[in-house]
Amino acid sequence: MGGAMSWISEHKLVSSISNAGGFGVIACSSMSPEQLENEILLTKQCIGGKEFGVNLILMHPNIDELINVCIKNKITHIILAGGIPSKDLIGKIKVNNIKAITFAPSISVAKKMVRIGIDALIIEGMEAGGHIGKVSTSVLAQEILPEITDVPVFIAGGIGTGKIIVNYLKMGASGCQIGTLFACSKESIAHPKFKQKFINASSYDTVISTQLDSNFPVIPVRSIKNNATKDFTDFQKSIIEQYNNGLVSKSEGQLAIEKFWAGSLRRAVIDGDVESGSLMAGEIVGLIKKELPVQEIIDNIVSDAESYIENFYINRP
Ligand SMILES: Cc1cc2nc3c(=O)[nH]c(=O)nc-3n(C[C@H](O)[C@H](O)[C@H](O)COP(=O)(O)O)c2cc1C
Protein backbone atom coordinates (compact mmCIF):
# COMPACT_ATOMS: atom_id res chain seq x y z
CA MET A 1 0.00 0.00 0.00
CA GLY A 2 1.09 3.55 -0.69
CA GLY A 3 0.78 5.49 2.55
CA ALA A 4 -1.22 8.68 2.03
CA MET A 5 0.99 11.75 2.41
CA SER A 6 -0.48 15.25 2.71
CA TRP A 7 0.37 17.48 -0.30
CA ILE A 8 2.27 14.58 -1.94
CA SER A 9 -0.29 11.79 -2.50
CA GLU A 10 -2.26 13.40 -5.31
CA HIS A 11 -3.50 11.79 -8.54
CA LYS A 12 -0.09 11.47 -10.22
CA LEU A 13 1.61 9.54 -7.41
CA VAL A 14 -1.53 7.59 -6.46
CA SER A 15 -2.17 6.39 -10.02
CA SER A 16 1.54 5.55 -10.52
CA ILE A 17 1.48 3.32 -7.42
CA SER A 18 -1.70 1.48 -8.46
CA ASN A 19 -0.50 1.18 -12.06
CA ALA A 20 2.81 -0.31 -10.83
CA GLY A 21 1.07 -3.09 -8.88
CA GLY A 22 0.62 -1.35 -5.53
CA PHE A 23 -2.42 0.27 -4.00
CA GLY A 24 -2.36 4.08 -4.16
CA VAL A 25 -4.17 6.22 -1.60
CA ILE A 26 -5.15 9.89 -2.06
CA ALA A 27 -4.29 12.07 0.97
CA CYS A 28 -7.35 14.27 1.39
CA SER A 29 -5.70 16.09 4.32
CA SER A 30 -7.19 19.59 4.39
CA MET A 31 -8.75 19.45 0.87
CA SER A 32 -12.29 20.75 0.39
CA PRO A 33 -14.95 18.29 -0.85
CA GLU A 34 -14.66 19.90 -4.34
CA GLN A 35 -10.87 19.47 -4.39
CA LEU A 36 -11.20 15.83 -3.30
CA GLU A 37 -13.74 15.11 -6.04
CA ASN A 38 -11.43 16.66 -8.60
CA GLU A 39 -8.48 14.51 -7.42
CA ILE A 40 -10.65 11.37 -7.53
CA LEU A 41 -11.72 12.12 -11.11
CA LEU A 42 -8.14 12.85 -12.21
CA THR A 43 -6.90 9.63 -10.54
CA LYS A 44 -9.59 7.61 -12.32
CA GLN A 45 -8.50 9.09 -15.64
CA CYS A 46 -4.88 7.98 -15.09
CA ILE A 47 -5.60 4.59 -13.63
CA GLY A 48 -7.71 2.61 -16.10
CA GLY A 49 -9.99 0.72 -13.70
CA LYS A 50 -7.37 -0.20 -11.09
CA GLU A 51 -8.26 0.24 -7.44
CA PHE A 52 -7.17 3.04 -5.13
CA GLY A 53 -8.26 4.45 -1.79
CA VAL A 54 -8.89 7.78 -0.08
CA ASN A 55 -7.36 8.76 3.28
CA LEU A 56 -9.58 11.04 5.38
CA ILE A 57 -8.54 12.83 8.57
CA LEU A 58 -11.30 12.34 11.17
CA MET A 59 -11.06 15.86 12.60
CA HIS A 60 -11.62 17.47 9.17
CA PRO A 61 -14.54 19.91 9.64
CA ASN A 62 -16.28 18.54 6.51
CA ILE A 63 -15.72 14.83 7.15
CA ASP A 64 -19.36 13.91 6.36
CA GLU A 65 -19.30 15.77 3.04
CA LEU A 66 -15.96 14.15 2.16
CA ILE A 67 -17.43 10.69 2.81
CA ASN A 68 -20.40 11.65 0.60
CA VAL A 69 -17.96 12.59 -2.18
CA CYS A 70 -16.37 9.12 -1.84
CA ILE A 71 -19.79 7.42 -1.96
CA LYS A 72 -20.89 9.46 -4.99
CA ASN A 73 -17.68 8.60 -6.84
CA LYS A 74 -17.83 4.89 -5.97
CA ILE A 75 -14.57 4.82 -4.00
CA THR A 76 -13.86 1.24 -2.90
CA HIS A 77 -11.63 1.87 0.17
CA ILE A 78 -11.58 4.69 2.77
CA ILE A 79 -8.69 4.90 5.24
CA LEU A 80 -9.66 6.86 8.37
CA ALA A 81 -6.72 8.59 10.09
CA GLY A 82 -6.00 11.02 12.91
CA GLY A 83 -8.25 9.46 15.58
CA ILE A 84 -10.48 6.52 16.42
CA PRO A 85 -13.58 6.21 14.21
CA SER A 86 -17.04 5.63 15.68
CA LYS A 87 -19.21 2.60 14.96
CA ASP A 88 -21.72 4.90 13.19
CA LEU A 89 -19.08 6.30 10.86
CA ILE A 90 -17.75 2.83 9.99
CA GLY A 91 -21.35 1.70 9.43
CA LYS A 92 -22.07 4.63 7.09
CA ILE A 93 -19.04 3.73 4.98
CA LYS A 94 -19.73 -0.02 4.88
CA VAL A 95 -23.41 0.30 4.06
CA ASN A 96 -22.31 2.01 0.86
CA ASN A 97 -20.14 -0.96 -0.15
CA ILE A 98 -16.89 0.78 0.75
CA LYS A 99 -14.21 -1.00 2.79
CA ALA A 100 -13.42 0.92 6.01
CA ILE A 101 -9.79 0.81 7.15
CA THR A 102 -8.17 2.57 10.09
CA PHE A 103 -5.01 2.72 12.22
CA ALA A 104 -4.66 0.76 15.46
CA PRO A 105 -2.12 2.27 17.88
CA SER A 106 -2.61 -0.55 20.45
CA ILE A 107 -4.05 -4.04 20.84
CA SER A 108 -7.07 -2.72 22.77
CA VAL A 109 -7.98 -0.27 20.00
CA ALA A 110 -7.38 -2.99 17.38
CA LYS A 111 -9.81 -5.36 19.14
CA LYS A 112 -12.40 -2.60 19.57
CA MET A 113 -12.19 -1.69 15.86
CA VAL A 114 -12.74 -5.32 14.85
CA ARG A 115 -15.74 -5.52 17.23
CA ILE A 116 -17.37 -2.43 15.68
CA GLY A 117 -16.93 -3.66 12.12
CA ILE A 118 -13.68 -2.33 10.64
CA ASP A 119 -12.66 -4.18 7.45
CA ALA A 120 -8.86 -3.91 7.85
CA LEU A 121 -6.27 -2.33 10.14
CA ILE A 122 -2.95 -0.56 9.64
CA ILE A 123 -0.43 -0.64 12.47
CA GLU A 124 2.12 2.12 12.19
CA GLY A 125 5.24 2.29 14.32
CA MET A 126 7.09 5.37 15.50
CA GLU A 127 9.83 4.89 12.87
CA ALA A 128 7.35 6.28 10.31
CA GLY A 129 7.37 9.75 8.79
CA GLY A 130 4.69 12.32 9.68
CA HIS A 131 2.40 12.08 12.72
CA ILE A 132 3.36 9.05 14.77
CA GLY A 133 2.48 6.97 17.84
CA LYS A 134 4.77 5.97 20.68
CA VAL A 135 5.58 2.31 19.96
CA SER A 136 7.92 0.84 17.34
CA THR A 137 6.67 -1.15 14.34
CA SER A 138 8.32 -4.41 15.41
CA VAL A 139 6.75 -4.32 18.90
CA LEU A 140 3.27 -3.43 17.59
CA ALA A 141 3.55 -6.26 15.04
CA GLN A 142 4.46 -8.81 17.73
CA GLU A 143 1.64 -7.59 19.98
CA ILE A 144 -1.13 -7.22 17.44
CA LEU A 145 -0.56 -9.75 14.63
CA PRO A 146 -1.08 -12.92 16.71
CA GLU A 147 -4.26 -11.50 18.24
CA ILE A 148 -6.02 -10.02 15.21
CA THR A 149 -6.87 -12.74 12.73
CA ASP A 150 -10.42 -11.78 11.66
CA VAL A 151 -9.41 -8.84 9.43
CA PRO A 152 -6.34 -8.10 7.28
CA VAL A 153 -3.58 -6.16 9.07
CA PHE A 154 -1.07 -3.96 7.19
CA ILE A 155 2.27 -2.88 8.68
CA ALA A 156 3.62 0.67 8.29
CA GLY A 157 6.71 2.48 9.50
CA GLY A 158 10.25 1.68 8.44
CA ILE A 159 9.43 -0.48 5.42
CA GLY A 160 12.16 -0.20 2.80
CA THR A 161 13.03 -3.68 1.53
CA GLY A 162 11.38 -6.92 0.43
CA LYS A 163 13.06 -8.82 3.28
CA ILE A 164 11.17 -7.01 6.00
CA ILE A 165 7.88 -7.43 4.13
CA VAL A 166 8.44 -11.21 3.83
CA ASN A 167 9.00 -11.41 7.58
CA TYR A 168 5.89 -9.40 8.45
CA LEU A 169 3.84 -11.54 6.02
CA LYS A 170 5.22 -14.64 7.73
CA MET A 171 4.11 -13.22 11.07
CA GLY A 172 0.55 -12.88 9.78
CA ALA A 173 0.39 -9.45 8.13
CA SER A 174 -1.58 -9.09 4.90
CA GLY A 175 0.73 -6.46 3.49
CA CYS A 176 2.82 -3.38 4.23
CA GLN A 177 2.36 0.36 3.75
CA ILE A 178 5.15 2.59 2.47
CA GLY A 179 5.31 6.39 2.66
CA THR A 180 8.82 7.84 2.79
CA LEU A 181 10.21 5.86 -0.19
CA PHE A 182 7.37 7.02 -2.47
CA ALA A 183 7.72 10.66 -1.37
CA CYS A 184 11.09 10.67 -3.15
CA SER A 185 9.86 8.87 -6.30
CA LYS A 186 10.08 10.48 -9.76
CA GLU A 187 6.30 10.78 -9.89
CA SER A 188 6.06 12.52 -6.50
CA ILE A 189 5.22 16.21 -6.99
CA ALA A 190 7.47 17.14 -4.05
CA HIS A 191 9.92 19.97 -4.84
CA PRO A 192 13.39 18.84 -6.07
CA LYS A 193 14.97 20.46 -2.98
CA PHE A 194 12.65 18.40 -0.73
CA LYS A 195 13.69 15.20 -2.51
CA GLN A 196 17.39 16.16 -2.32
CA LYS A 197 17.07 16.42 1.48
CA PHE A 198 15.71 12.84 1.48
CA ILE A 199 18.60 11.63 -0.69
CA ASN A 200 21.20 13.30 1.56
CA ALA A 201 19.67 12.20 4.88
CA SER A 202 20.78 9.23 6.93
CA SER A 203 18.51 7.33 9.31
CA TYR A 204 20.04 9.35 12.19
CA ASP A 205 18.81 12.64 10.75
CA THR A 206 15.13 12.46 11.70
CA VAL A 207 13.77 13.93 14.94
CA ILE A 208 10.45 13.85 16.80
CA SER A 209 8.66 17.08 17.72
CA THR A 210 8.18 17.77 21.43
CA GLN A 211 5.21 18.99 23.44
CA LEU A 212 5.80 21.95 25.80
CA ASP A 213 2.56 22.10 27.80
CA SER A 214 -0.02 19.41 28.58
CA ASN A 215 -2.76 22.05 28.05
CA PHE A 216 -1.71 22.03 24.40
CA PRO A 217 -1.32 18.37 23.42
CA VAL A 218 0.87 17.67 20.41
CA ILE A 219 0.75 14.53 18.28
CA PRO A 220 4.47 13.86 17.70
CA VAL A 221 5.74 14.41 14.15
CA ARG A 222 8.86 12.73 12.70
CA SER A 223 10.80 14.79 10.19
CA ILE A 224 14.34 15.46 8.99
CA LYS A 225 15.92 17.94 11.40
CA ASN A 226 15.91 21.56 10.20
CA ASN A 227 14.70 24.95 11.47
CA ALA A 228 11.05 23.78 11.44
CA THR A 229 11.75 21.69 14.56
CA LYS A 230 12.94 24.80 16.47
CA ASP A 231 10.24 27.03 14.89
CA PHE A 232 7.58 24.61 16.19
CA THR A 233 8.92 24.91 19.75
CA ASP A 234 8.98 28.74 19.44
CA PHE A 235 5.46 28.70 17.97
CA GLN A 236 4.14 26.63 20.89
CA LYS A 237 5.85 29.03 23.34
CA SER A 238 4.18 32.06 21.71
CA ILE A 239 0.72 30.40 21.77
CA ILE A 240 1.14 29.42 25.45
CA GLU A 241 2.18 33.01 26.26
CA GLN A 242 -0.86 34.40 24.39
CA TYR A 243 -3.11 31.94 26.25
CA ASN A 244 -1.61 32.91 29.63
CA ASN A 245 -2.24 36.60 28.79
CA GLY A 246 -5.87 35.89 27.81
CA LEU A 247 -5.28 36.73 24.14
CA VAL A 248 -6.38 33.33 22.73
CA SER A 249 -8.72 30.64 24.06
CA LYS A 250 -7.45 27.14 24.74
CA SER A 251 -9.26 25.69 21.72
CA GLU A 252 -7.98 28.47 19.41
CA GLY A 253 -4.46 27.80 20.65
CA GLN A 254 -4.79 24.04 20.19
CA LEU A 255 -6.11 24.49 16.65
CA ALA A 256 -3.29 26.88 15.74
CA ILE A 257 -0.70 24.36 17.02
CA GLU A 258 -2.42 21.54 15.12
CA LYS A 259 -2.38 23.57 11.89
CA PHE A 260 1.34 24.39 12.18
CA TRP A 261 2.51 21.21 10.47
CA ALA A 262 0.07 21.26 7.53
CA GLY A 263 1.25 24.76 6.53
CA SER A 264 4.85 23.97 7.24
CA LEU A 265 4.80 20.73 5.17
CA ARG A 266 3.21 22.59 2.26
CA ARG A 267 6.04 25.16 2.29
CA ALA A 268 8.66 22.44 2.01
CA VAL A 269 6.86 20.09 -0.43
CA ILE A 270 5.37 22.67 -2.80
CA ASP A 271 7.52 25.81 -2.39
CA GLY A 272 10.83 24.02 -1.74
CA ASP A 273 11.47 25.91 1.52
CA VAL A 274 13.58 23.15 3.01
CA GLU A 275 15.11 25.39 5.71
CA SER A 276 11.95 26.30 7.62
CA GLY A 277 9.29 24.06 6.02
CA SER A 278 8.63 20.61 7.48
CA LEU A 279 10.60 17.70 6.01
CA MET A 280 8.34 14.90 7.30
CA ALA A 281 10.16 11.61 6.71
CA GLY A 282 10.58 8.23 8.37
CA GLU A 283 13.87 6.77 9.61
CA ILE A 284 13.95 4.59 6.47
CA VAL A 285 14.94 7.79 4.60
CA GLY A 286 18.53 6.61 5.14
CA LEU A 287 17.99 3.88 2.52
CA ILE A 288 17.10 6.36 -0.24
CA LYS A 289 20.09 6.93 -2.52
CA LYS A 290 18.37 8.55 -5.53
CA GLU A 291 15.03 9.54 -7.02
CA LEU A 292 13.51 6.44 -8.69
CA PRO A 293 10.34 5.81 -10.70
CA VAL A 294 7.54 4.21 -8.61
CA GLN A 295 7.68 1.10 -10.81
CA GLU A 296 11.38 0.65 -10.03
CA ILE A 297 10.82 1.12 -6.28
CA ILE A 298 8.14 -1.59 -6.31
CA ASP A 299 10.12 -3.91 -8.63
CA ASN A 300 13.21 -3.60 -6.39
CA ILE A 301 11.16 -4.52 -3.32
CA VAL A 302 9.50 -7.48 -5.07
CA SER A 303 12.76 -8.89 -6.45
CA ASP A 304 14.44 -8.42 -3.05
CA ALA A 305 11.56 -10.34 -1.44
CA GLU A 306 11.81 -13.10 -4.05
CA SER A 307 15.57 -13.59 -3.71
CA TYR A 308 15.26 -13.47 0.10
CA ILE A 309 12.62 -16.23 0.05
CA GLU A 310 14.75 -18.27 -2.34
CA ASN A 311 18.03 -17.90 -0.42
CA PHE A 312 16.74 -17.92 3.10
CA TYR A 313 13.74 -20.21 3.05
CA ILE A 314 14.20 -22.51 0.04
CA ASN A 315 17.96 -23.02 -0.42
CA ARG A 316 18.86 -22.95 3.28
CA PRO A 317 20.60 -26.17 4.37
C1 LIG B 1 5.41 13.61 4.22
C2 LIG B 1 4.43 12.66 4.88
C3 LIG B 1 3.10 13.02 5.00
C4 LIG B 1 2.17 12.12 5.58
N5 LIG B 1 0.84 12.46 5.62
C6 LIG B 1 -0.07 11.56 6.08
C7 LIG B 1 -1.49 11.83 6.02
O8 LIG B 1 -1.92 12.89 5.55
N9 LIG B 1 -2.35 10.87 6.49
C10 LIG B 1 -1.91 9.67 7.01
O11 LIG B 1 -2.73 8.84 7.43
N12 LIG B 1 -0.56 9.39 7.07
C13 LIG B 1 0.33 10.29 6.60
N14 LIG B 1 1.67 9.96 6.58
C15 LIG B 1 2.09 8.58 6.99
C16 LIG B 1 2.16 7.66 5.72
O17 LIG B 1 0.89 7.46 5.17
C18 LIG B 1 2.75 6.28 6.05
O19 LIG B 1 1.93 5.57 6.94
C20 LIG B 1 4.16 6.37 6.63
O21 LIG B 1 4.94 7.24 5.87
C22 LIG B 1 4.77 4.96 6.63
O23 LIG B 1 6.03 4.94 7.23
P24 LIG B 1 7.42 5.23 6.41
O25 LIG B 1 7.47 6.73 6.32
O26 LIG B 1 8.46 4.67 7.30
O27 LIG B 1 7.31 4.55 5.08
C28 LIG B 1 2.61 10.85 6.05
C29 LIG B 1 3.98 10.52 5.94
C30 LIG B 1 4.89 11.39 5.36
C31 LIG B 1 6.33 10.98 5.21
**Gap from CA of 177 to ligand 1 centroid (Å):** 9
Alpha helices (H) in the chain, listed in sequence order = 11-19, 33-47, 63-72, 87-94, 107-115, 137-144, 162-170, 180-183, 192-200, 227-244, 250-269, 294-308
Q: Is 129 helix (H, G, I), strand (E, B) or coil?
A: coil
Please determine, for residue 226, whether its predicted confidence score (pLDDT) is greater than 90.
Answer: yes
pLDDT of residue 249: 92
Q: Which residues line the pocket of ligand 1, CB cutoff 6 A?
A: 3-6, 8, 27, 29, 55, 81, 124, 127-130, 156-159, 177-180, 183, 280-282, 284
Q: Ligand 1: distance of its center to the CA of 313 in Å?
A: 31
pLDDT at 317: 66
pLDDT value of position 217 = 86
Q: How confident is the model at residue 48 (pLDDT cuts 50, 70, 90)?
A: confident
CB 85 within 8 A of CB 101: no
Does the pLDDT at position 218 exceed 90? no
Our mutation pick for probing the ligand 1 site, out of 5, 55, 56, 59, counting the most ligand atoms within 8 A of Cβ, is: 5
Query: Quick one: pLDDT band at residue 143, thresholds 50, 70, 90?
Result: very high
19-39 pLDDT per residue, tens: 999 999 999 998 999 999 999
- On average, the pLDDT of the chain sits at 95
Q: What is the pLDDT of residues 73-111, one digit of tens each?
A: 999 999 999 999 999 999 999 999 999 999 999 999 999
Please state the atom number of ligand 1 nearest to the C-alpha of residue 178.
27
Is the pLDDT score of 222 beyond 70? yes
pLDDT of amino acid 272: 98
> pLDDT over 70 for what percent of the chain?
100
What is the per-residue pLDDT for 188? 98
